Amino acid sequence: MDRVTSRRAPYPRRPRLDWRYLLAALLANTLGITVFSVVYQTARNQTSVSAIGAVADDAILLLTLFAGSGFVFLLAGLARRRSLSYTHSGILAFGNFTIGVFSLFLSFAESIGYQDDLATCGGFPPGYWTTGNVTVNRCSIFVSLHQDWVSDIYLLILLTSAIAFCAVILTRLRQAHREAQAQESGLESIVA
């Protein structure tokens, strides 16, 4: 009996990612998109070009800060070592997959909208730099909202989500493989 116990393989180590930081990265990216969407609609409802530009700059800055902090949390979650349960990994994988697909869709939508406005307005629309009462139109909004920058920020969120998703899935697959090997070697030592 003592000989059987000594041959048994030790229980495999749990995978090592800090799920708290990975969850913080997911939440930062989600909040960034949500806050940007709210502020973006506020910018579109402004009646002057300068007001559109001011609100749009704030929206882009907020999205950049959230996306950047999400990327920093991701790096911390990958670097720090803490156990990752199947429940945590499932939540993280599903959440990152969802926010990644959503940010990919938003990136394409912003890029298509930007190119469409670029074709219609021809870059800077006539009258944009004139003083006095400037009519706020589609071209004014196009110039003020900088949709090309927004598309790049969404791609950063997509990249963060893809890295987190792959890291979580690969870590759990390795853990499942180790557990299967431990069970096989445990059965072999009991049979012997």
Is residue 113 domain-resident? Answer: yes
Report, as an integer, the average pLDDT of 97-121: 86
CA distance 181 to 158: 35
Is residue 126 domain-resident? Answer: yes
User: Domain of 168?
Assistant: 15-191
- In tens, the pLDDT along 117-171 reads 777 776 555 555 444 556 677 777 776 666 678 888 999 999 999 999 999 999 8
> How many structural domains comprise the chain?
1
**Model confidence at 115, in pLDDT bands (50, 70, 90)?**
confident
For residue 70, the model assigns a pLDDT of 96
Taking alpha carbons only, the member of 67, 41, 74 closest to residue 152 is 67
Which residue is associated with the tokens 């139109």? 137
- In tens, the pLDDT along 4-38 reads 444 444 444 555 788 999 999 999 999 999 999 99
Is residue 102 domain-resident? Answer: yes
Least confident stretch, 49-63, 71-85, 134-148, 157-171? 134-148
Is residue 118 domain-resident? Answer: yes
CB 144 within 8 A of CB 53: yes
Is residue 6 domain-resident? Answer: no
For residue 65, the model assigns a pLDDT of 97
What's the Rg (C-alpha) of the chain? Answer: 25
Is residue 73 domain-resident? Answer: yes
For residue 66, the model assigns a pLDDT of 97
Is residue 107 domain-resident? Answer: yes
Q: Helices 147-191 and 49-79 meet at what angle, rounded to 10?
A: 20
* Rounded (10°) CA dihedral 73, 76, 77, 79: 160
For residue 188, the model assigns a pLDDT of 61
**pTM of the predicted structure, to 2 decimals:** 0.75
User: For residue 108, is pLDDT > 50?
Assistant: yes
Report, as an integer, the average pLDDT of 84-99: 91
